Structure 1
Amino acid sequence: MSELSRLYGRRTVPAAPQHIVAGDAERDALARRFDLVAVNSLEAIVTLTVDGPTVRANGRVKAQIVQSCAVSGEDLPVSIDEPIELRFVPAQTDVAPDSEIELEESDLDDIEMDGEQFDLGEAIAQSLGLAIDPYLTGPQADEARTRAGIASEGEDGPFAALKGLLKK
Protein backbone atom coordinates (compact mmCIF):
# COMPACT_ATOMS: atom_id res chain seq x y z
CA MET A 1 0.00 0.00 0.00
CA SER A 2 1.31 3.43 -0.94
CA GLU A 3 2.06 6.07 1.68
CA LEU A 4 -0.32 8.42 -0.18
CA SER A 5 -2.97 6.16 -1.66
CA ARG A 6 -5.85 7.80 -3.54
CA LEU A 7 -7.67 5.21 -5.63
CA TYR A 8 -9.91 6.15 -8.55
CA GLY A 9 -11.84 4.09 -11.03
CA ARG A 10 -11.59 4.75 -14.75
CA ARG A 11 -15.36 4.57 -15.14
CA THR A 12 -16.06 6.98 -12.26
CA VAL A 13 -13.51 9.75 -12.86
CA PRO A 14 -14.75 12.99 -11.25
CA ALA A 15 -15.20 15.99 -13.53
CA ALA A 16 -13.87 18.52 -11.00
CA PRO A 17 -10.12 18.95 -10.44
CA GLN A 18 -8.91 16.80 -7.56
CA HIS A 19 -7.17 18.51 -4.65
CA ILE A 20 -4.96 15.98 -2.89
CA VAL A 21 -3.43 17.01 0.45
CA ALA A 22 -1.16 14.68 2.39
CA GLY A 23 -1.95 14.27 6.07
CA ASP A 24 0.59 14.17 8.90
CA ALA A 25 1.09 10.38 8.88
CA GLU A 26 1.34 10.34 5.07
CA ARG A 27 3.96 13.09 5.07
CA ASP A 28 5.98 11.29 7.77
CA ALA A 29 5.86 8.05 5.76
CA LEU A 30 6.93 9.87 2.57
CA ALA A 31 9.85 11.48 4.43
CA ARG A 32 11.04 8.01 5.45
CA ARG A 33 10.52 6.62 1.93
CA PHE A 34 12.57 9.38 0.29
CA ASP A 35 15.12 9.72 3.13
CA LEU A 36 14.14 13.30 3.89
CA VAL A 37 14.33 15.14 7.20
CA ALA A 38 10.68 16.16 6.78
CA VAL A 39 7.86 16.68 4.34
CA ASN A 40 6.16 19.74 5.81
CA SER A 41 3.47 19.98 3.15
CA LEU A 42 2.43 18.14 0.02
CA GLU A 43 -0.52 18.92 -2.16
CA ALA A 44 -1.53 18.51 -5.77
CA ILE A 45 -4.34 19.78 -7.92
CA VAL A 46 -4.97 17.40 -10.78
CA THR A 47 -7.55 17.29 -13.54
CA LEU A 48 -8.46 13.78 -14.68
CA THR A 49 -9.74 13.20 -18.20
CA VAL A 50 -10.89 9.87 -19.63
CA ASP A 51 -9.46 9.31 -23.10
CA GLY A 52 -10.74 5.96 -24.35
CA PRO A 53 -9.14 3.23 -22.25
CA THR A 54 -6.69 5.66 -20.65
CA VAL A 55 -7.02 8.44 -18.09
CA ARG A 56 -4.95 11.59 -18.41
CA ALA A 57 -3.81 13.44 -15.29
CA ASN A 58 -2.63 17.05 -15.62
CA GLY A 59 -1.84 19.44 -12.82
CA ARG A 60 0.78 20.55 -10.32
CA VAL A 61 2.50 19.07 -7.30
CA LYS A 62 3.65 21.47 -4.60
CA ALA A 63 5.64 20.54 -1.52
CA GLN A 64 7.73 22.03 1.26
CA ILE A 65 10.42 19.57 2.30
CA VAL A 66 13.56 19.55 4.42
CA GLN A 67 16.44 17.48 3.16
CA SER A 68 20.04 17.04 4.18
CA CYS A 69 22.90 18.65 2.29
CA ALA A 70 24.72 15.90 0.38
CA VAL A 71 28.08 17.15 1.71
CA SER A 72 27.65 18.80 5.11
CA GLY A 73 24.47 17.08 6.29
CA GLU A 74 22.88 20.40 7.27
CA ASP A 75 19.10 20.67 7.01
CA LEU A 76 17.98 22.58 3.91
CA PRO A 77 14.42 23.77 3.30
CA VAL A 78 13.30 23.14 -0.28
CA SER A 79 10.21 24.27 -2.18
CA ILE A 80 8.93 22.02 -4.94
CA ASP A 81 6.47 23.19 -7.58
CA GLU A 82 6.31 20.82 -10.52
CA PRO A 83 3.85 20.23 -13.33
CA ILE A 84 2.62 16.68 -13.79
CA GLU A 85 1.35 15.12 -16.97
CA LEU A 86 0.62 11.42 -16.67
CA ARG A 87 -1.44 8.79 -18.40
CA PHE A 88 -2.92 5.84 -16.60
CA VAL A 89 -3.08 3.04 -19.15
CA PRO A 90 -4.47 -0.50 -19.20
CA ALA A 91 -1.97 -3.12 -18.11
CA GLN A 92 -0.20 -4.94 -20.93
CA THR A 93 -1.19 -8.57 -20.59
CA ASP A 94 0.46 -9.88 -23.75
CA VAL A 95 4.06 -9.26 -22.62
CA ALA A 96 6.23 -12.14 -21.39
CA PRO A 97 7.58 -11.46 -17.85
CA ASP A 98 11.27 -11.38 -18.85
CA SER A 99 10.95 -9.80 -22.28
CA GLU A 100 12.33 -6.39 -23.12
CA ILE A 101 9.87 -3.59 -23.84
CA GLU A 102 10.77 -0.80 -26.23
CA LEU A 103 9.45 2.53 -24.94
CA GLU A 104 8.76 5.58 -27.04
CA GLU A 105 9.20 9.05 -25.54
CA SER A 106 5.42 9.39 -25.29
CA ASP A 107 5.29 6.21 -23.16
CA LEU A 108 7.59 7.50 -20.42
CA ASP A 109 4.90 8.98 -18.19
CA ASP A 110 2.49 6.06 -18.51
CA ILE A 111 1.42 4.23 -15.38
CA GLU A 112 -0.37 0.92 -15.68
CA MET A 113 -3.77 0.62 -14.06
CA ASP A 114 -4.76 -2.28 -11.88
CA GLY A 115 -7.79 -3.43 -13.85
CA GLU A 116 -10.01 -0.36 -13.96
CA GLN A 117 -8.38 1.34 -10.94
CA PHE A 118 -5.43 3.68 -10.65
CA ASP A 119 -3.71 5.25 -7.66
CA LEU A 120 -3.36 8.99 -8.19
CA GLY A 121 -1.79 9.40 -4.74
CA GLU A 122 1.05 7.02 -5.57
CA ALA A 123 1.62 8.87 -8.84
CA ILE A 124 1.88 12.13 -6.88
CA ALA A 125 4.31 10.51 -4.43
CA GLN A 126 6.46 9.30 -7.34
CA SER A 127 6.37 12.79 -8.86
CA LEU A 128 7.60 14.19 -5.56
CA GLY A 129 10.41 11.62 -5.49
CA LEU A 130 11.51 12.58 -8.99
CA ALA A 131 11.56 16.29 -8.09
CA ILE A 132 13.98 15.81 -5.17
CA ASP A 133 17.59 16.76 -5.98
CA PRO A 134 19.66 13.83 -4.65
CA TYR A 135 22.88 15.90 -4.71
CA LEU A 136 21.57 19.08 -3.12
CA THR A 137 24.29 21.12 -1.44
CA GLY A 138 23.92 24.02 0.90
CA PRO A 139 26.01 27.04 1.85
CA GLN A 140 28.15 25.00 4.29
CA ALA A 141 29.19 22.41 1.65
CA ASP A 142 32.51 24.05 0.68
CA GLU A 143 33.51 24.47 4.31
CA ALA A 144 32.68 20.81 5.01
CA ARG A 145 34.74 19.72 1.98
CA THR A 146 37.70 21.77 3.17
CA ARG A 147 37.49 20.33 6.72
CA ALA A 148 37.40 16.83 5.25
CA GLY A 149 40.40 17.53 3.00
CA ILE A 150 38.35 17.20 -0.15
CA ALA A 151 38.98 19.53 -3.06
CA SER A 152 36.22 21.96 -3.87
CA GLU A 153 33.71 21.03 -6.53
CA GLY A 154 35.47 23.05 -9.27
CA GLU A 155 38.97 21.80 -8.40
CA ASP A 156 38.20 18.09 -8.49
CA GLY A 157 36.25 16.83 -11.44
CA PRO A 158 36.62 15.11 -14.77
CA PHE A 159 38.26 18.16 -16.36
CA ALA A 160 40.61 19.06 -13.49
CA ALA A 161 43.47 17.00 -14.97
CA LEU A 162 43.00 18.62 -18.37
CA LYS A 163 43.17 22.08 -16.80
CA GLY A 164 46.59 21.21 -15.40
CA LEU A 165 47.83 20.09 -18.82
CA LEU A 166 46.79 23.37 -20.43
CA LYS A 167 48.94 25.42 -18.04
CA LYS A 168 52.18 23.75 -19.21
Structure 2
Amino acid sequence: MENPSIEAAKGPWSVPVTVAEVPDTGRHVELVPDEATRDAIAQEAGLVALPRLVATFDLARRGADSLRLEGRVTATVIQNCVVTLEPIETEIDEPVELFFRPEPVGAAASGAEEGSHSFEGEEPPETLVNGTVDLGIIATEFLNLGIDPYPRKEGAVFDEPVARDPASHPFAALAALKKDPGSKGH
Protein backbone atom coordinates (compact mmCIF):
# COMPACT_ATOMS: atom_id res chain seq x y z
CA MET A 1 0.00 0.00 0.00
CA GLU A 2 1.23 3.49 -0.86
CA ASN A 3 1.94 6.15 1.71
CA PRO A 4 -1.35 8.08 2.28
CA SER A 5 0.43 11.46 2.26
CA ILE A 6 1.91 10.67 -1.16
CA GLU A 7 -1.52 9.55 -2.36
CA ALA A 8 -3.08 12.82 -1.11
CA ALA A 9 -0.37 14.86 -2.86
CA LYS A 10 -1.36 13.28 -6.17
CA GLY A 11 -4.74 14.94 -6.16
CA PRO A 12 -8.12 13.42 -6.88
CA TRP A 13 -7.16 11.96 -10.28
CA SER A 14 -3.99 9.99 -10.85
CA VAL A 15 -3.16 8.11 -14.06
CA PRO A 16 0.59 7.41 -14.02
CA VAL A 17 2.33 6.30 -17.21
CA THR A 18 6.00 5.37 -17.43
CA VAL A 19 8.15 6.16 -20.44
CA ALA A 20 8.79 2.41 -20.79
CA GLU A 21 5.02 1.86 -21.34
CA VAL A 22 5.08 4.08 -24.43
CA PRO A 23 6.08 2.14 -27.57
CA ASP A 24 8.46 3.64 -30.12
CA THR A 25 5.45 4.18 -32.39
CA GLY A 26 3.75 6.32 -29.71
CA ARG A 27 0.60 5.90 -27.69
CA HIS A 28 -2.81 7.58 -27.86
CA VAL A 29 -4.68 7.87 -24.57
CA GLU A 30 -8.22 9.08 -23.92
CA LEU A 31 -9.12 9.55 -20.28
CA VAL A 32 -12.60 10.07 -18.86
CA PRO A 33 -12.84 10.11 -15.06
CA ASP A 34 -15.81 8.56 -13.29
CA GLU A 35 -18.45 10.65 -11.50
CA ALA A 36 -16.84 10.36 -8.05
CA THR A 37 -13.49 11.56 -9.44
CA ARG A 38 -15.16 14.45 -11.31
CA ASP A 39 -16.93 15.44 -8.07
CA ALA A 40 -13.60 15.42 -6.19
CA ILE A 41 -11.93 17.50 -8.92
CA ALA A 42 -14.87 19.94 -8.90
CA GLN A 43 -14.63 20.34 -5.14
CA GLU A 44 -10.87 20.91 -5.28
CA ALA A 45 -11.32 23.50 -8.08
CA GLY A 46 -14.17 25.32 -6.33
CA LEU A 47 -16.75 24.41 -8.98
CA VAL A 48 -20.45 23.78 -8.46
CA ALA A 49 -20.17 20.71 -10.70
CA LEU A 50 -18.03 19.07 -13.38
CA PRO A 51 -20.46 17.08 -15.56
CA ARG A 52 -17.91 16.30 -18.30
CA LEU A 53 -14.12 15.98 -18.44
CA VAL A 54 -12.15 14.34 -21.26
CA ALA A 55 -8.39 14.36 -21.75
CA THR A 56 -6.87 13.06 -24.98
CA PHE A 57 -3.12 12.75 -25.22
CA ASP A 58 -0.64 11.55 -27.83
CA LEU A 59 2.55 10.36 -26.18
CA ALA A 60 5.77 9.98 -28.15
CA ARG A 61 9.15 8.88 -26.90
CA ARG A 62 12.14 11.08 -27.54
CA GLY A 63 15.18 8.92 -27.13
CA ALA A 64 15.28 6.22 -24.49
CA ASP A 65 14.14 8.28 -21.53
CA SER A 66 12.28 11.44 -22.66
CA LEU A 67 8.66 11.96 -23.63
CA ARG A 68 6.61 14.43 -25.66
CA LEU A 69 2.94 14.87 -24.80
CA GLU A 70 0.39 16.66 -27.00
CA GLY A 71 -3.36 16.74 -26.64
CA ARG A 72 -6.44 18.53 -25.32
CA VAL A 73 -8.42 18.77 -22.15
CA THR A 74 -12.11 19.50 -22.72
CA ALA A 75 -14.75 19.90 -20.06
CA THR A 76 -18.10 21.30 -19.10
CA VAL A 77 -17.92 23.18 -15.79
CA ILE A 78 -20.66 24.74 -13.70
CA GLN A 79 -19.71 27.76 -11.60
CA ASN A 80 -21.60 30.49 -9.81
CA CYS A 81 -21.77 33.86 -11.56
CA VAL A 82 -19.79 36.48 -9.59
CA VAL A 83 -22.57 39.02 -10.09
CA THR A 84 -25.86 37.12 -9.77
CA LEU A 85 -24.55 34.01 -7.92
CA GLU A 86 -26.63 31.90 -10.33
CA PRO A 87 -25.00 28.72 -11.69
CA ILE A 88 -23.65 29.05 -15.22
CA GLU A 89 -22.27 26.39 -17.55
CA THR A 90 -18.99 26.95 -19.38
CA GLU A 91 -17.12 24.86 -21.95
CA ILE A 92 -13.36 24.47 -21.60
CA ASP A 93 -10.97 23.45 -24.38
CA GLU A 94 -7.30 23.64 -23.41
CA PRO A 95 -4.47 22.50 -25.70
CA VAL A 96 -1.63 20.63 -24.00
CA GLU A 97 1.94 20.45 -25.27
CA LEU A 98 4.67 19.33 -22.88
CA PHE A 99 8.12 17.80 -23.09
CA PHE A 100 9.47 15.63 -20.26
CA ARG A 101 12.99 14.48 -19.57
CA PRO A 102 14.56 12.59 -16.65
CA GLU A 103 15.29 14.35 -13.40
CA PRO A 104 18.93 15.44 -13.12
CA VAL A 105 21.17 13.20 -11.04
CA GLY A 106 24.14 14.59 -9.09
CA ALA A 107 26.50 17.44 -9.90
CA ALA A 108 27.29 16.19 -13.42
CA ALA A 109 23.65 16.58 -14.38
CA SER A 110 23.43 20.12 -12.99
CA GLY A 111 26.41 21.09 -15.14
CA ALA A 112 24.73 19.51 -18.16
CA GLU A 113 21.55 21.43 -17.33
CA GLU A 114 23.38 24.75 -17.37
CA GLY A 115 24.94 23.96 -20.73
CA SER A 116 21.78 22.66 -22.35
CA HIS A 117 20.54 24.61 -25.33
CA SER A 118 17.09 26.16 -25.26
CA PHE A 119 15.41 27.89 -28.13
CA GLU A 120 13.69 31.22 -27.69
CA GLY A 121 9.96 30.83 -27.11
CA GLU A 122 10.24 27.18 -26.05
CA GLU A 123 8.95 26.09 -22.71
CA PRO A 124 11.59 24.43 -20.54
CA PRO A 125 11.12 20.66 -20.22
CA GLU A 126 9.17 19.17 -17.34
CA THR A 127 10.90 16.66 -15.12
CA LEU A 128 10.03 12.97 -15.21
CA VAL A 129 9.89 11.59 -11.67
CA ASN A 130 11.07 7.99 -11.63
CA GLY A 131 10.48 7.87 -15.40
CA THR A 132 6.75 8.58 -14.91
CA VAL A 133 4.24 11.25 -15.91
CA ASP A 134 0.84 11.48 -14.25
CA LEU A 135 -1.74 12.15 -16.96
CA GLY A 136 -4.53 12.68 -14.42
CA ILE A 137 -2.61 15.45 -12.68
CA ILE A 138 -1.69 17.04 -16.03
CA ALA A 139 -5.34 16.95 -17.16
CA THR A 140 -6.47 18.48 -13.85
CA GLU A 141 -3.85 21.25 -14.08
CA PHE A 142 -4.90 22.19 -17.61
CA LEU A 143 -8.56 22.08 -16.60
CA ASN A 144 -7.75 24.53 -13.81
CA LEU A 145 -5.95 26.79 -16.30
CA GLY A 146 -9.11 26.95 -18.42
CA ILE A 147 -11.50 27.81 -15.57
CA ASP A 148 -12.60 31.45 -15.55
CA PRO A 149 -11.76 32.82 -12.09
CA TYR A 150 -14.57 35.41 -12.41
CA PRO A 151 -17.40 33.75 -14.34
CA ARG A 152 -20.15 36.13 -15.36
CA LYS A 153 -23.56 35.23 -16.69
CA GLU A 154 -24.19 36.76 -20.10
CA GLY A 155 -25.69 40.21 -19.65
CA ALA A 156 -24.99 40.33 -15.91
CA VAL A 157 -23.73 43.75 -14.90
CA PHE A 158 -22.51 44.91 -11.54
CA ASP A 159 -24.08 48.30 -10.85
CA GLU A 160 -22.30 50.52 -8.38
CA PRO A 161 -24.47 51.61 -5.50
CA VAL A 162 -26.24 54.89 -6.21
CA ALA A 163 -24.75 57.73 -4.20
CA ARG A 164 -27.18 59.32 -1.85
CA ASP A 165 -27.19 62.96 -0.92
CA PRO A 166 -23.59 64.21 -1.44
CA ALA A 167 -23.81 66.20 1.79
CA SER A 168 -24.35 62.98 3.76
CA HIS A 169 -21.04 61.29 2.99
CA PRO A 170 -18.46 61.04 5.79
CA PHE A 171 -16.14 63.72 4.42
CA ALA A 172 -18.83 66.29 3.57
CA ALA A 173 -17.86 68.48 6.54
CA LEU A 174 -14.20 68.49 5.48
CA ALA A 175 -15.14 69.32 1.89
CA ALA A 176 -17.25 72.23 3.13
CA LEU A 177 -14.34 73.56 5.18
CA LYS A 178 -12.03 73.33 2.17
CA LYS A 179 -14.50 75.26 -0.01
CA ASP A 180 -15.01 78.05 2.55
CA PRO A 181 -12.05 80.46 2.18
CA GLY A 182 -12.96 82.27 5.41
CA SER A 183 -12.65 79.19 7.61
CA LYS A 184 -10.08 79.13 10.40
CA GLY A 185 -8.42 76.05 8.95
CA HIS A 186 -6.50 78.18 6.38
Judge same fold: TM > 0.5, yes or no. Answer: yes
Matches within 5 A, 1:13-162: 13-14=22-23, 15-52=26-63, 53-93=65-105, 105-107=121-123, 110-139=125-154, 141-142=156-157, 145-146=158-159, 149=161
The 3-state SS of whatever aligns with 1:141 is coil
Shift of residue 72 of structure 1? Answer: 2.2
Instruction: State the Cα RMSD in Å.
Output: 2.3
The 3-state SS of whatever aligns with 1:125 is helix
Of Structure 1 and Structure 2, the greater helix share is in 2
Q: Percent of pairs identical after alignment?
A: 32
Query: CA deviation digits over 1:63-99, x for unaligned, max 9?
Result: 111011122221110111222111222224556xxxx
1:32 and 1:111 mapped to 2: Cα distance?
A: 27
The 3-state SS of whatever aligns with 1:17 is strand
Letter of the 2:146 partner, please give it: A
Shift of residue 140 of structure 1? Answer: 5.7
1:91 and 1:69 mapped to 2: Cα distance?
A: 42
Question: TM-score by structure 1 length?
Answer: 0.73
Call closer, same or farther: CA 1:136–1:118 in 2, change over 3 Å. same
2:27 and 2:60 mapped to 1: Cα distance?
A: 10
| 2:12 counterpart residue number | 3
Question: TM-score by structure 2 length?
Answer: 0.67
Note if contact 1:70-1:134 (Cα within 8 Å) is conserved in structure 2. Answer: no
Please say which structure displays the higher CA radius of gyration: 2
1:44 and 1:64 mapped to 2: Cα distance?
A: 12
Which blocks of at least 5 consecutive residues in structure 1 are unaligned? Answer: 96-102, 152-168
Query: CA deviation digits over 1:6-55, x for unaligned, max 9?
Result: 10111111533101001111101111111000110101111100112321
The 3-state SS of whatever aligns with 1:36 is coil
Letter of the 1:87 partner, please give it: F
Count residues in correspondence: 140
Call closer, same or farther: CA 1:150–1:129 in 2, change over 3 Å. farther
Which blocks of at least 5 consecutive residues in structure 2 are unaligned? Answer: 1-9, 111-117, 164-186
Shift of residue 117 of structure 1? Answer: 1.1
